[in-house]
Amino acid sequence: MAQKKKPALAPEPTPGGKVGVYVCHCGGNISDAVDVEQVCAQARRVPGVVVARDQMFMCSDPGQEMIIEDLKSGLVDRVVVASCSPSLHESTFRNALLRAGANPYVYEHANLREQVSWVHHGPEATAKATRLVAAAAAKAARLKPLEPIRVEVQPRALVIGGGVAGMKAALELAARGQAVVLVEKSPFLGGQVAQLQELAPEGETAAAVISELAGAVLGHPAVTVYTCAQVEGFEGYIGNFKLKVVRKPPLGATYADRLEKLSKSGQGLGEYVPFVGVMPATIPESPEDFDLEAGVVVLATGMRPYQPRPGEYAYKNFPEVVTLPEFIRLQAEAEGEGDTLMLHGRPIRGAALIHCVGSRQIPGIHAENEGGYLNEYCSRTCCAATLYAANLIRDRYPQTKIFDFYRDIRTYGRGQEELYTQAAASQVVFFRFEAGEEPQVLKNPDPQGPPLLVQVKDVLTFGEELEVPVDLVVLAVGQEPNNIAGLVQQMKIPIGADRFLQEVHPKLRPVEMSVAGILLAGTCQAPFDVGETCAAAGAAAVKAAAILARGFVELDPFVAEVDLSKCTGTGACVEACLADGALSLVDLEVAGQKVRRARVNPVMCLGCGACVAVCPENAINVQGWTLKQFESMVDLIVSDEYLEGA
């Protein structure tokens, strides 16, 4: 069957916009490869361009003022900025237009850094830059002022996760006058920090940190806490998220162990129990669910310590091989106060601490985990925690010797380098190994000596192979993100190669996700210590509060728009749409007849243009990216008429 030919678009008059082109040197990032002055000279020959200027840094205050002055004077009414990626500074230049009293959507961006200077050199770089700027100017001439889409905001925030990050974010939001609902899947508040005793490098106790945070959260009237609760349904958009929360009795040996410790502690609801946390409410006896509406969502789902495989550094092969979190609990329960550490009635005269267990894993050298992945990242916090533990043992039990086995030591935070200095001064013995030549933990063949033997090829002694008999091996395990695959799938949020949640930009938008209205707090994003976690949670709370306090959000208007005079209701656009609920067919009455036509929900629309490609009547366009604008861009890319000497 012959395919129906698409009718041509209705002719549009060429707009009479006065386009200003502003080209950035980017401090040499662009101008080292591109002749910026020549690009400006060629741009002045493009139809509609009335001025073309260059600046060392267009994003700087002088660069923005240049644009603002030209707009205010009436010299230009359309703006093209040719600089770095629009993802970095698009909002910067739109705000500059607003300050000039212009519509922020009469602006077009040409990327001369990532698309030109970083991939081309010589004359071809300038030639390509010239055509990209010309294409942007052609599109800018056809831009029309648009109005942002206003969405009313539900006046509450939902925080998922009841660890330090979740409690800190909830408390900061409540302090700014916002209503907060905090949901935590376990019966306890405190997260992984509650499983610690003292915090490196300053030695604050987990009890003090968790008690203060949990007490403030539970005592604040603007915060509602649900434990034993998980989000099992999610829909909506920024300002109007709708969630289904289910509360269930806790299951699993871990929770049973903590509940047993709680019952033996004599502590009640709202009181801190070491290595348990704070239990703020009674446990539901049967599943129950409720619906919740929120304007923003803060993810504080946390991390978990890496769990070594059986046999990794002889873990599970010998009871004397433990992880650092396990050792912290053992040390807290150690018997007596002598000068030698005693665990389970045995004196620990020598202990080996091994760094980078479950971190900085290398393909081809280290074995993959059960899920088929490697933790190639540095967990950052393990070195300080390990050195702190070494110093604590040497200080309290001077007859217990400590041997530290490391690939590299990273003590990056305030007060952490001092931990290394203190360890060296207190006679901790350091051994350095290469990747792929990790220490081997074996049974000591000498029945009269300690039970374990650690073999290592020591870089510090130029590769000498050494054997160190010890009573205990402590594995400094790294951080892994908690498994929140259900939330990731429901919310359609991105994760990085390291399986942590992925922010939009680590510097410019460090706590925002690509799904508007969903924010990150703490170790669900990356390995953080407690101080960094609180800082990230505070940043997420400030972002969330800014959205809630305003009462509405404004979304970019780059969404599909239907021309009802052309639409025949074929439904092809609805089938092609990538966003559930963004497009639908509705019944309308036109000239006394009932007809079906496509209707766009602008809040749900992604602006992807999939519907434009399949409409047989050319009845749909994406505002700010119309087919006519694309045609104008292509015309200028292939044309030589504006080139000097053509």
Tell me the percentage of the chain whose pLDDT exceeds 90. Answer: 88
Taking only Cα atoms into account, the Rg of the chain, rounded to an integer number of angstroms, comes to 31
Per residue in 272-321, pLDDT (tens digit) is: 999 999 999 999 999 999 999 999 999 999 999 999 999 999 999 999 99
Task: Report angle CA 265, 266, 270 to the nearest 5 degrees.
Answer: 95
CB 180 within 8 A of CB 173: yes
Q: Is residue 602 pLDDT above 50, yes or no? A: yes
CA distances from 537 to 170, 364, 397, 612 (A): 9, 37, 37, 41
Tokens 């669910």, residue? Answer: 289
Is the model more confident about 590 or about 162? 162
Q: Mean pLDDT across the stretch 401-414?
A: 95
Report d(CA 143, CA 107) in Å as an integer: 8
Per residue in 309-346, pLDDT (tens digit) is: 999 999 999 999 999 999 999 999 886 678 999 998 89
Domain 156-302+482-553, second-level architecture: 3-Layer(bba) Sandwich (3.50)
CB atoms < 10 A from the CB of 177, how many? Answer: 11
The residue type at 51: V
3-state SS record for 426-439: CCCEEEECCCCCCC
- The CATH topology of domain 559-622 is Alpha-Beta Plaits (3.30.70)
Residue 119 confidence (pLDDT): 96
Q: Which structure tokens are listed for 444?
A: 């000591």
Tokens 């366009």, residue? Answer: 621
Query: Residue 318 gets which letter from DSSP?
Result: B
Helix (H) or strand (E) segment spanning residue 18: none
Q: Which structure tokens are listed for 259?
A: 């509940």
Each domain of the chain, given as residue ranges in start order, spans 17-148, 156-302+482-553, 312-478, 559-622
Report d(CA 75, CA 71) in Å as an integer: 6
Hey, is 178 helix, strand or coil?
A: coil
Q: Give 4's pLDDT tier (boundaries 50, 70, 90).
A: very low
Common-topology check for domains 156-302+482-553 and 559-622: no
Helix and strand numbers, DSSP H then E, in the chain: 15, 34
Tell me the percentage of the chain whose pLDDT exceeds 70. Answer: 97
Q: Give 6's pLDDT tier (boundaries 50, 70, 90).
A: very low
State the number of CA atoms in the 13 A half-sphere of 535 facing the CB: 6
Residue 48 confidence (pLDDT): 94
Residue 335 confidence (pLDDT): 66
Question: 206: exposed, middle or buried (C-beta count within 10 Å: 0-12, 13-18, 19+)?
Answer: buried
Under CATH, domain 312-478 is a member of which superfamily? FAD/NAD(P)-binding domain (3.50.50.60)
Report d(CA 164, CA 241) in Å as an integer: 24
Task: Report angle CA 14, 15, 21 to the nearest 5 degrees.
Answer: 115
Report d(CA 487, CA 158) in Å as an integer: 14
Sign of the alpha-carbon dihedral angle for 638, 639, 643, 646 = positive
Query: Residue 336 gets which letter from DSSP?
Result: -
Residue 13 confidence (pLDDT): 40
CB atoms < 10 A from the CB of 9, how many? Answer: 13
Hey, is 305 helix, strand or coil?
A: strand
Quickly list H helices, 28-112.
Answer: 36-43, 61-72, 86-99
Query: Residue 97 gets which letter from DSSP?
Result: H
Q: Give 8's pLDDT tier (boundaries 50, 70, 90).
A: very low
Report d(CA 66, CA 86) in Å as an integer: 19
Q: Which structure tokens are listed for 349?
A: 């005269």
Per residue in 485-524, pLDDT (tens digit) is: 999 999 999 999 999 999 998 988 999 999 999 999 999 9
Beta bridge partners of 318: 315
Q: Domain 17-148: which CATH class?
A: alpha beta
Query: Picking from 366-375, 392-401, 416-425, 464-473, which range would have the lowest pLDDT averaged per residue?
Result: 366-375
Query: Residue 177 gets which letter from DSSP?
Result: T
Residue 12 confidence (pLDDT): 43
The residue type at 21: V
